[in-house]
C-alpha cells in the first residue's frame, strides 16, 4: 500500500515578515516627504495665482477709475499717540473696494461703506458680520495658512456676533496686504501712522492713496504693490475689510509676531520667503534673504533708486 506524500508549503518566517515590514516603512518614509513637497508646491502655486488675481483686479479698478484704490479710508496724524479717525468709508481697505473685480460683486454690494467697517448691520445691541465683513474670500487666503477660512476675533468686544467666541468681530481673514511704505508704520501695540500724507507714504497703497500708474516713477515692474502676510491666530491676524496694509521695515519673515492685529510685515507659511505682486500686475516669490536696501527700494514708488535683479 502506497502512501501519498503531501508537501507542505513553506510560510514566511518571523524574520522575513519583519524585513518586509521594515522595507515598506523605509519606502513610506522616502515617499512621504515627496508627497508633502508636491502638496506644498501646489499650495504655493495657488497662493501665487491669488496674488496674480488680486493684482489684475487692482489694474481693472485702475482702468475704470484711472487710479488705484486708496489703501485704506482711515486717517491719523503722521506722529504716534493720537487716535485714528474714521472718515468717509469708515476704515475700509483696498481689498474691499476691488471685490467686484474679484467676482465678489454680491459681497461688495452687502457692504455699507458709509458705516464703520466693524459696525455694518446692527440688530439690537449686536453687529452682524455674516454676509458682509465676516465672509471669507477664498482668493485672499493662502492654502498653506493653517487657520484657512477661520474668521478673526480681534476687537475684544462682546457687541459683535461670532463663531469664535463671545469676544469676536468675526471678520474674514486675508494673507494679501497692500505695501504702504519701506519705513515702520507701527509705533507700538495700539498706535500707528497710516501714511495719510503722501510725503510720508512712499508706497502705492496707503491711507487715502490715489496713485495712478503715472505716479509710479520708479517703474511699475520695480515697485511692490502687494505682499503676503502670515496670520498667527484668530486674534492676531489681518482682516480683508479694513486697514490691510504693511511695510517692509523688518524684511521678509523677520519680526512678524506682532502683539496686535494689523502689525505683520511681509511673511508667509512657505519656506524661504513670501509672495508679492508688483505694480505691473506680475506675481512672484521673493527670498527672505533679499537685501534690505533692495527691499526698501522696491517698496517706494518714486524714490529714484536703481533696482537690479532680485
Residue 21 lies in a domain: no
Distance of CA 186 to the CA centre of its chain: 18
Burial 232-248 (b: 16+ CB within 10 A, else e): eebbbbbbbbbbbbbbb
Residue 109 lies in a domain: yes
Q: Which three cell numbers stand for residue 135?
A: 465672509
Q: pLDDT band for 112, please (50, 70, 90 cuts).
A: confident
Per-residue pLDDT averaged across 172-190, rounded?
A: 71
Residue 149 lies in a domain: yes
Strands (E), the chain: 74-75, 85-86, 121-123, 126-128, 176-181, 224-228, 245-247, 273-278, 283-287
Split into its structural domains, the chain has a count of 1
Q: Is residue 169 pLDDT above 70, yes or no?
A: no
Residue 53 lies in a domain: yes
CB within 8 A of 141, min separation 6: which ones? 50, 148, 149, 173, 174, 175
Residue 306 lies in a domain: no
Per-residue pLDDT, 104: 94
Residue 80 lies in a domain: yes
Per-residue pLDDT, 270: 92
Range of the domain at 47: 34-299
Task: Indicate whether this model's pTM tops 0.85.
Answer: no
Backbone angles phi, psi at 88, to 5 degrees: 60, -125
Q: Is residue 250 pLDDT above 90, yes or no?
A: no
Amino acid at each position: 500500500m502506497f502512501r501519498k506524500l503531501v508537501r507542505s508549503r513553506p510560510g514566511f518566517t518571523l524574520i522575513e515578515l519583519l524585513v518586509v515590514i521594515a522595507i515598506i516603512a523605509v519606502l513610506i518614509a522616502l515617499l512621504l516627504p515627496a508627497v508633502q513637497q508636491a502638496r506644498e508646491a501646489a499650495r504655493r502655486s495657488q497662493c501665487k495665482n491669488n496674488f496674480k488675481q488680486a493684482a489684475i483686479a487692482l489694474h481693472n479698478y485702475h482702468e475704470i477709475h484711472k487710479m488705484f484704490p486708496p489703501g485704506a479710508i482711515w486717517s491719523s496724524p503722521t506722529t504716534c499717540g493720537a487716535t485714528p479717525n474714521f472718515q468717509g468709508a469708515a476704515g475700509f481697505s483696498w481689498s474691499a473696494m476691488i471685490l467686484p473685480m474679484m467676482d465678489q460683486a454680491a459681497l461688495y454690494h452687502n457692504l455699507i461703506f458709509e458705516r464703520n467697517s466693524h459696525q455694518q448691520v446692527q440688530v439690537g445691541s449686536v453687529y452682524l458680520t455674516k454676509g458682509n465683513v465676516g465672509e471669507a474670500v477664498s482668493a485672499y487666503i493662502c492654502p498653506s495658512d493653517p487657520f484657512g477660512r477661520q474668521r478673526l476675533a480681534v476687537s475684544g468686544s462682546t457687541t459683535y456676533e461670532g463663531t469664535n467666541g463671545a469676544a469676536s468681530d468675526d471678520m474674514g481673514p486675508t494673507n494679501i496686504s497692500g505695501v504702504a511704505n519701506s519705513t515702520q508704520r507701527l509705533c507700538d501695540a495700539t498706535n500707528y501712522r497710516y501714511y495719510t500724507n503722501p510725503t510720508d507714504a512712499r508706497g502705492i497703497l496707503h491711507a487715502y492713496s490715489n496713485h495712478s500708474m503715472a505716479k509710479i516713477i520708479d517703474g511699475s515692474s520695480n515697485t511692490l504693490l502687494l505682499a503676503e502676510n502670515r496670520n498667527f491666530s484668530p486674534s492676531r491676524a489681518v482682516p480683508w475689510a479694513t486697514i490691510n496694509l504693511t511695510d517692509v521695515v523688518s524684511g521678509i519673515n523677520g519680526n512678524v509676531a506682532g502683539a496686535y492685529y494689523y502689525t505683520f510685515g511681509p511673511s508667509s507659511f512657505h519656506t524661504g520667503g513670501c509672495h508679492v505682486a508688483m505694480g505691473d500686475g506680475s506675481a512672484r516669490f521673493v527670498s527672505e534673504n533679499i537685501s534690505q536696501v533692495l527691499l526698501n527700494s522696491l517698496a517706494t514708488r518714486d524714490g529714484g533708486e536703481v533696482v537690479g535683479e532680485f
